[in-house]
Amino acid sequence: MTGTLTIAGLGPGDEALITPEVSAALGNATDIVGYAPYVTRVPPRDGLTLHPSDNRVELQRAGEALRLASEGRHVVVVSSGDPGVFAMASAVFEALESVPQWHDLPIRVLPGITAMLAAAASAGAPLGHDFCAINLSDNLKPWPLIEQRLRLAAGADFAIAMYNPRSASRPEGFARTLAILREAGCSERIVIFARAVSTPEQRIETVLLRDARPEMADMRTMVIVCNSTTRRVGRWVYAPRQVR
């Protein structure tokens, strides 16, 4: 009996932003594996087993999904946003690498709308020119590397989309991030704080970086530091496509 493994993105929150391809995969699944808050977004039904787990067991979660698929189950590993952006797709392939007998399992990665794109659309078009994305969590990489990437991105005048800016366990990291960007000459850049995008709790705040405060962000906030040419038009923010 041949199972399948699908790695799917559930989008930023609104069910309308889940792609039809992902909805079809969820409808055909026998097992849903993922971080508990994301698994609860999948409605229970007969014939479907839910496997919620904690946030810091990505490799164990990936291994469980691969094992279930090897036993003939049709498994969907869910992430919020897009599974390939700071999410479960990398963890699955990392787990797969160490088990050669699973290398031939049928695996699909289904894209989703990541928080960066949903936040940008809610504010206008701040990613209309070159940009980068940086995860501010230091759980899986050292803080000095984050600092280096922030300085390089600021120096290159990228718009910077920042994931996981400020958690209760590491509130100092985002304060340091703002200080680094000010030191790099970005004080007059526009910053977008997009919280809980596409949900009823959505809140969009736009300020200059010099006026940004650490407490304006939490783990449900996407922070976009715009490039130096970004402009306002009414309530919208956009990056011109042409830079001279």
The CATH number linked to 133 is 3.30.950.10
Do both 154 and 40 map to the same domain? no
Do both 50 and 131 map to the same domain? no
Q: How far is 61 from 66, CA to CA, in rounded Å?
A: 9
Do both 88 and 158 map to the same domain? no
The predicted structure's pLDDT at residue 61: 95
Q: Token match 């971080």: residue?
A: 35
* 94, containing H or E segment: helix 88-97
Do both 103 and 194 map to the same domain? no
pLDDT tens track of the chain, all 244 residues?
589 999 999 999 999 999 999 999 999 999 999 999 999 999 999 999 999 998 889 999 999 999 999 999 999 999 999 999 999 999 999 999 999 999 999 999 999 999 999 999 999 999 999 999 999 999 889 999 999 999 999 999 999 999 999 887 777 899 999 999 999 999 999 999 999 999 999 999 999 999 999 999 999 999 999 999 999 999 999 999 987 7
Do both 193 and 90 map to the same domain? no
Count of domains in the chain? 2
The predicted structure's pLDDT at residue 1: 57
The predicted structure's pLDDT at residue 167: 80
Range of the domain at 16: 4-113
Instruction: Using DSSP, state whether 56 is helix, strand or coil.
Output: coil
The predicted structure's pLDDT at residue 172: 87
Q: Could you give the strand order of the β-sheet that contains 203-208, starting from the edge strand earlier in sequence?
A: 131-135, 159-163, 221-225, 190-195, 203-208
What φ, ψ does residue 206 adopt, rounded to 5°?
-130, 125
The predicted structure's pLDDT at residue 127: 97
189 in a domain, yes or no? yes
63 in a domain, yes or no? yes
Supply the pTM of this predicted model: 0.92
